[in-house]
Structure 1
Amino acid sequence: MTTAPEAPTKETATAIVPSYVRDAWWTPENPGRGAEVRDASTGELLAVVNSDGIDLAGMVEHARTVGQAELGKFTIHERALKLKELAQFLRGHREELYELSFKSGATKIDNMVDIDGGIGVLFTFGSKGRRELPNSNVIVDGPMEVLSKDGSFAGEHIYTRIPGVAAQINAFNFPVWGMLEKFAPAFVAGVPTIVKPATPTGYVTEAMVRLMVDSGILPAGSIQLISGSARTLLDELDYRDMVSFTGSAATANLLKSHPNVVHGGVRFTSETDSLNAAILGPDAVPGTPEFDAFVKSVVTEMTVKAGQKCTAIRRSIVPAELVDDVVAAIGARVTERVVVGDPRAEGVTMGALASLEQLKDVRGAVESLVEAGGKIAFGSLDAPEVVTASGEKAVVTDGAFMSPVVLTWEDVEAPALHGTEAFGPVSSVVGFSSLEEAIRLAAMGSGSLVASVCTNDPEAAKTLVTGIAAHHGRVLMLNREDAKTSTGHGSPVPHLVHGGPGRAGGGEELGGIRSVKHHMQRTAIQGSPNMLTAVTGVWHTGADRHLADPADPSTHPFRKSLAELRVGDAMRSELRQITREDIAKFAAETGDTFYAHMDDEAARAAGVFPGIVAHGYLLVSWAAGLFVSPEPGPVLLNYGLDNLRFLQPVPAGDSIRVTLTAKQITPRVTDEYGEVRWDAVLTNQDDELIANYDVLTLVEKEWPKKA
């Protein structure tokens, strides 16, 4: 290997954009001409991209061996904590990334979406991974299924990480966010990543990867980078690996037809072309907050990233009588607020497209739409006058600048309207005569990432959303109540699924913990409760318990810190009898005088009670009294109950006891305590099941505390 140069700068304007291979920077020994990358605003040559001779097989093998081994040394919580640490580090380097990203045509707002948004994804998964997943490497999926009469044989599902590599192939429009939104869930799952960014903006991705590596936070083999072509990457992958693709449908279909995907079992998920729609409700006439919010959303999606967003609004579907009003309002807002030019110039709100090639493609797409029946109602395909870096206004032929364009259509069902995407600052305004027609027009996009429904009429919202939901991965409902707080039509958030059916690729990304599980295999495991407990680290009903000695208070599980407590440690209380006086007193003190606790005749008449019965919450309250160890100790507090179920009534005269078992122990990496989930079972004097639930507590890691 050879040592790579630093990221491209003015002084090294023709540098080779390096790759990161097997934990070392690499450039080809004979780079040749390579692909030229130019400043989107000025046409200045920035760098050359060439991956000739890169060892793709070695990269995959390194990920499967070193990457898997090093990531496997950490638990899910520990990896999530590293993401938080990485996000904090990267946040301190935002400005240098901004400066580099300006060269791609991105404005400051665009960079906030891409760079800050990407770092924000790391923060989100750093938090959700620790709050919603176990501090282990096995995730239990659903309850145990008893498979034998005596309970000695059972089954359940678990998630474990896939044993290969997560290869991501990304588009040019989000060189940072596009990489980090895939890297974060893979890292939490414990799967190493190989990144293949798009050539026009890959130098920005390289700068981010360099910072990630230089942070010293990531384990060896966690991330590798291919700067340039990776045509044979899929040749090196098999069923252990997964590919996450973002780009054109044509390229996705080509990759999906690879033998290793079709026959070799490579997991393939894609996010592709999407003719997203925004629907304006009939009630949202000019002058309403909904009309204003709709117009603002359309203009935002046309101009952020110069419309180069997979989530941009390509079809504005509005009541037919409002087409002219919407076009006029869009045009007025663009004229008033949009300044096209070099992102480094003061006041510029929309930068250049990513390259001259991209500009040619978008203009060509608009021309084909016009030939198919579209009419340019606002804007032009002529080279616009723009603000240059010096602050002057000029027509710049070396820059990839384009004015926002709005199209209208007489034939609202024209195939090109619903099938041709101009991936730039372009949107069509389409009229509908009924909600049913609006739904049909939205569906003609053949599957989209996102749609917006802008109305303040709940019935219209219900009709539209339920009508289009199955055609979209996400639907934003926009009205006067959330117009100011909404994250926006085109902003995927890490908490919710990003993806869509049909033309949009049929895949899912993000979605919180769902996206972590995308990088894991769900497996059904079967065995005895003891064996299920051993594999999962979670106690299962029927597994061995280690009962405390009632005569020795020190053996009570509440007297044990996390250093001593083990899954299966348990206690079984004495019986406590319930009297009518107990029930009446609880009713009087709580105000819960429901007839089943007060009136024998009415209770029996209901057909489900044997007469007056104890309150369910009386039973739970008494159970706490039966299982707690009251003196100060390692158990800090009870912070909730889960899955509480009352299974049969308890009449006066019956007795109850509680069996409490340590079910799951989750130490917190950053705190001196952890969470313990206890299995609580209430039974009567005949050992019949009365109620069960989980008790959640916080417990000290050591007790007594060290001074």
Structure 2
Amino acid sequence: MSTSQIGVVPSFIAGQWQTPEAAGGTEVLDANTGELITIVTGGKLDIAAAVAYGRGVGQRELSSLSLHERALKLKELAMYLNERRKDLYEVSYKTGATKIDSMVDIDGGIGVLFTFSSKGRRELPNSNVIIDGTAEPLSKDGSFLGSHIYTAISGVVVQVNAFNFPVWGMLEKFAPAFIAGVPTIVKPATPTGYLTEVAVRMIIESGILPEGSLQLISGSARDLMDHLDYRDMFSFTGSAATASRLKSHPNVIDGGVRFSAETDSLNAAILGPDAVEGTAEFDAFVKVVVTEMTSKAGQKCTAIRRNIVPAAQVDAVIAAVGKRIEERVVLGDPRVEGVTMGALASVEQMHDVRAAVQDMIDAGGELGFGNLDAPVVRVAPERDALAAGGAFMSPLVLRWADSRNPILHSREAFGPVCSVVGYDSVDEAIELAAMGAGSLVATVCTNDPAAMRTLTLGIAAHHGRVHILNRETAGSTTGHGSPVPHLVHGGPGRAGGGEELGGIRSVKHHMQRTAVQGSPNMLTALTGVWHTGAAQQLAGSEKFGAQPGNVHPFRKSLAELKIGDGLASDLRQVNQQEITAFANETGDTFYAHVNPKAAEANPFFPGTVAHGYLLVSWAAGLFVEPAPGPVLANYGLENLRFITPVAAGDSVRVTLTAKKITPRVTDAYGEVAWDAILHNQNDEIVATYDVLTLVEKEDTTYANWQD
């Protein structure tokens, strides 16, 4: 145990660790033993100073780095934390988490950092401006354009997290905010915030993050929202009641604070009509139900609460779930070998879950498996005893005579508890799932494509994610309750209406989308991406716009190449012999290239025409610089469109312009996207596309080749 866990859990505010007085604080106990491990109290933290520090120092330091540079720091941080997972595990066990639970929380959080680092460098520009969509011409002559850009919001993001994922919950919100360039203030939940503090302390001690990037508020911070305005974002995970109260704050309603919530969710799993006992789908369904009941002791916002199964399968499902629990679940202290399910996060949480179950029983539910008695738990290897002092609770399955009982679809027991209800038709299954009034995730388990489509489309509008499970995915699925950083995590209605993760989408949640209007030159200067009509410095044919003395752009390294540099080629005439030869050589003998009569009958062609790919190949021959140099490779084309057909006797020329330059932070080269336009002899556009090349930062290839 670190010294930070003895006494009061400290906060990290304005670049300093602060430990308030213990008086009036909340005692936090080991979830498994009831032992006092720390005290949490808000004390007299200067929340206004934390916000000002983030807006000032944090914004300044983060904006000094590009999107790629920040993404690279996430990878560095992930590697640093990866080497210290065992230390985090030792603390995590005190929260009631098993080793597997801790892996989901700790390794999962670290995995989010790795994923966003990779996606940030692969999918975003190496700048601080993201262009959204293509430019819109706003004048006939092309001198006035409109576009959209994303830039980081100018305030802070405050994240208030639930107790169930003290590490992942923080990192899954921190990663996209950090890449966007927005400082984060973390406010963890009291029962497990001491684990968040250990993780934050590791991060701060690493020295990897720019100053002001991350701050921590431990304990109460009731006036936190009072200090935020339209520059800031508030990201909440917790109860729907608390989210509703926060969302009604004047600074949200009138002050413009961006508010995102992920709240209670009565998630469902639907067993398809075909998935009867004995099928692979039935077995996969039972497995995922038990996993969701016992992982983190059922304390997951994504856990399955309502299992909607064919009426004839209710008894079989309850029996199979109960059997799997009896065979595989060992309840006890997660530090004891063999334990597979730990305690709830606190005794208070256990009492809340038991009370919720009792309310459901009183309202018409019936225990189909398990009981509310104090459980027997594993306290030492091969030794079990009645639970004493810990927050242990046995897994429970409720059954319902009335599948539309209101409490079934409105009350959540946030622990190892689920219900099984029957349906008589697929339409009824959809109705029952929708009665959850908005959920984070639902599983549809069937091997019938028609039933799957009906169910998925029927419930999609009520859910943030649909997990489709059958025999093909049973062995490879990431699971019903596992949000992945590539996909959206959130849901409508009761689930909060917010949206987290989703890859680069979540980075943009922390940015402002702004419409910009101006000349091509001004938009090029603003975005760092060449816009049609902006200035060009062309080599090549002076007849088609090249300036005397300009160097071929392929002879320029990234140190020399500028946006707008390019090449204008001369015309190249096309003849039928070349078209025929290409057709015969490639096997592409489509009639429009080789059959004059058939081609003339086609309303799109004037007769036989050149293959589009032949035109692209000729274009490469027109703009290529053959000698070794800074251009290392062509790695693809994007946005290729053929516009005007080219017949035998026509001529083509190409104009190539450096459109976007993206140096790689970690490599001696970067990517260059070139705007390519093919014209014919009448200056009509034949084709447009982007050529993608890898180019050295400094030209070493030619010198090495000469040696």
TM-score by length of 1: 0.98
Check the 8 A contact 2:609/2:647 in 1, yes or no.
yes
Match of 2:642 among 620, 624, 646: 646
Counterpart code for 1:64: R
What's the CA shift for 1:521? 0.4
1:505 counterpart residue number:
496
Q: Aligned partners of 1:6 and 1:602: how far apart in 2?
A: 85
CA contact (8 A) 1:187 1:222 kept: yes
Q: Is the 8 A contact 1:343 1:389 kept in 2?
A: no
Q: Is the 8 A contact 1:345 1:391 kept in 2?
A: no
Q: How many residues align?
A: 697
| Aligned pair partner of 2:405 in 397, 414, 422 | 414
Counterpart of 1:481 in structure 2 is 472
CA contact (8 A) 2:338 2:381 kept: no
Identity score, percent: 70
Q: Is the 8 A contact 1:19 1:226 kept in 2?
A: yes
Partner in structure 1 of residue 698 of structure 2: 702
Is residue 2:519 matched to residue 1:528? yes
Q: Secondary structure at the match of 1:417?
A: helix
**Closer, same or farther in 2 for the Cα pair 1:389/1:162, shift >3 Å?**
farther
Matched position secondary structure for 1:524: strand
Partner of 1:89: 80
Q: CA deviation at 1:165?
A: 0.2
> C-alpha distance in 2, partners of 1:380/1:203?
32
For the residues of structure 2 that align with 1:340 and 1:255, how far apart are their CA atoms?
A: 37
Which residue number in structure 1 is paired with residue 545 of structure 2?
none
SS of the residue corresponding to residue 561 of structure 2 reads coil
Matching residue of 1:291: 282
- Residue 22 of structure 1 pairs with residue 14 of structure 2: yes
User: Which residue of structure 2 lines up, in the alignment, with residue 165 of structure 1?
Assistant: 156
Following superposition, the deviation at residue 601 of structure 1 comes to 1.7
Report how far residue 397 of structure 1 moved: 3.0
Corresponding residue of 1:181: 172
The letter of the residue matching 1:685 is: Q
> CA-to-partner distance for each residue in 1:444-499, whole Å, 9 max, x for gaps?
00000000011111111111101111110000111111111100000000000000
Shift of 1:6: 3.1
Q: Could you tell me how far apart the structure 2 residues matched to 1:190 and 1:461 are? A: 41
> 2:128 — aligned with what?
137
Give the match for residue 304 of structure 1: 295
The corresponding residue for 1:223 is: 214
- Alpha-carbon contact 1:40-1:352 (below 8 Å) kept: yes
Task: Please report how far the alpha carbon of residue 33 of structure 1 lies from its aligned counterpart in structure 2 after TM superposition.
Answer: 3.0
Q: Is the CA contact (8 Å cut-off) linking 2:96 and 2:343 kept in structure 1?
A: yes
Distance 1:570 1:427 in 2: 64
Q: What is the identity, as a one-letter code, of the residue corresponding to 2:612? A: G
Alignment-mate amino acid for residue 557 of structure 2: S
Whichever residue aligns with residue 167 of structure 1, its letter is V
Q: Which residue of 1 aligns with 2:579?
A: 583
Contact 1:39–1:46, Cα closer than 8 Å, also in 2: yes
Question: Is the Cα contact below 8 Å between 1:33 and 1:48 reproduced in 2?
Answer: no
* Aligned mates of 1:7, 1:494 — CA distance in 2: 31
Deviation per residue, 1:652-699 (Å, 9 max, x gap): 111000000000000000000000000000000111111000000000
CA contact (8 A) 1:171 1:198 kept: yes
Distance 1:47 1:570 in 2: 65
Distance 2:203 2:93 in 1: 20
CA contact (8 A) 1:497 1:509 kept: yes
Which residue of structure 1 lines up, in the alignment, with residue 313 of structure 2?
322
Shift of 1:286: 1.1
Q: How does 1:323-362 map to 2 (within 5 A)?
A: 323-362=314-353
Equivalent of residue 667 in structure 1, options 663, 688, 691: 663
Superposition pairs of residues 608-647 of structure 1, within 5 angstroms: 608-647=604-643
Equivalent-residue separation in structure 1 for 2:323 and 2:540 (angstroms): 80
Give yes or no for contact 1:454–1:477 (8 Å, CA) kept in 2: yes
Structure 1 Cα separation of the partners of residues 34 and 550 of structure 2: 76
Q: 1:40 matched to which residue of 2?
A: 31
For 1:80 and 1:384, how far apart are their aligned partners in 2? 47
- Pairing 1:381–2:363 present: no
Extract unaligned runs of 5+ from structure 1.
none
Shift in Å, 1:94: 0.3
The answer on whether the counterparts of 2:661 and 2:672 sit within 8 Å (CA) in structure 1 is yes
Partners in 2 of 1:489 and 1:544 — Cα distance? 53
Equivalent position SS for 1:122: helix
Kept in 1: contact 2:541–2:570 (CA 8 A)? no
C-alpha distance in structure 2 between counterparts of 1:389 and 1:81, whole Å = 44
Q: CA deviation at 1:554?
A: 7.3
How far is 1:582 from its partner? 1.1
Tell me the distance in 2 between the aligned counterparts of 1:383 and 1:564: 74
Provide the rounded CA distance (Å) in 2 between the counterparts of 1:472 and 1:389: 42
**1:220 partner amino acid:** E
Q: CA deviation at 1:549?
A: 4.8
Q: Deviations over 1:406-435 (max 9, x none)?
A: 000011001100000000000000100010
SS, match of residue 388 in structure 1: strand
Q: CA–CA distance in 1 between the matches of 2:539 and 2:654?
A: 13
* Residue of structure 1 equivalent to 2:563: 567
Q: Which residue does 2:61 correspond to in 1?
A: 70
Task: Tell me if the contact between 1:27 and 1:51 (Cα under 8 Å) persists in the aligned partners.
Answer: no
Q: Is the 8 A contact 2:663 2:670 kept in 1?
A: yes
Q: Which whole-Å CA distance do the structure 2 matches of 1:246 and 1:621 have between them?
A: 54
Residue 550 of structure 1: CA displacement? 5.2
| TM-score where L is the length of structure 2 | 0.98
In the alignment, the residues of structure 1 paired with residue 623 and residue 396 of structure 2 have an alpha-carbon distance, to the nearest angstrom, of: 70
Which AA in structure 2 matches 1:19?
S
Does the 8 Å CA contact 2:295/2:341 hold for their aligned counterparts? Answer: yes
Deviations 1:328-356 (A, max 9, x none): 00000000000000011110000000000
Offset at residue 441 of structure 1 (A) = 0.4
Matched AA of 2:4 = A
**Matches of 2:541 and 2:137, distance apart in 1:** 31
Distance 2:72 2:517 in 1: 32
Q: Determine the C-alpha separation between the residues in 2 that align with 1:487 and 1:375.
A: 32
1:6 to 3, 8, 14: 3
Partners of 1:222 and 1:426 lie apart in 2 by 39
Q: Is the 8 A contact 2:398 2:419 kept in 1?
A: yes
What residue number does 2:679 align with? 683
**Counterparts of residues 269-280 of structure 1 (less than 5 Å):** 269-280=260-271
Give me the whole-angstrom Cα distance separating, in 2, the residues matched to 1:31 and 1:303.
Answer: 35
User: CA deviation digits over 1:66-110, x for unaligned, max 9?
Assistant: 000000110000000000000000000000100001000000000
Equivalent residue number for residue 440 of structure 2: 449
Shift of 1:391: 5.3
Q: Quote the residue 2:537 is aligned against.
A: 546
Shift of 1:621: 0.5
Cα distance in structure 1, aligned partners of 2:226 and 2:583: 71
The separation in 1 between residues aligned to 2:675 and 2:518, in whole angstroms, is 20
Deviation of the 1:52 alpha carbon: 1.5
Q: How far does residue 390 in structure 1 lie from its aligned partner after superposition?
A: 6.2
| Cα separation, 2, equivalents of 1:687 and 1:550 | 15
Aligned to 2:188: 197
CA RMSD of aligned residues (A): 1.1
What is the SS of the residue equivalent to 1:548?
strand
Contact 1:500–1:507 (CA<8 Å) still a contact in 2?
Answer: yes
Quote the offset at 1:641 in angstroms.
0.4
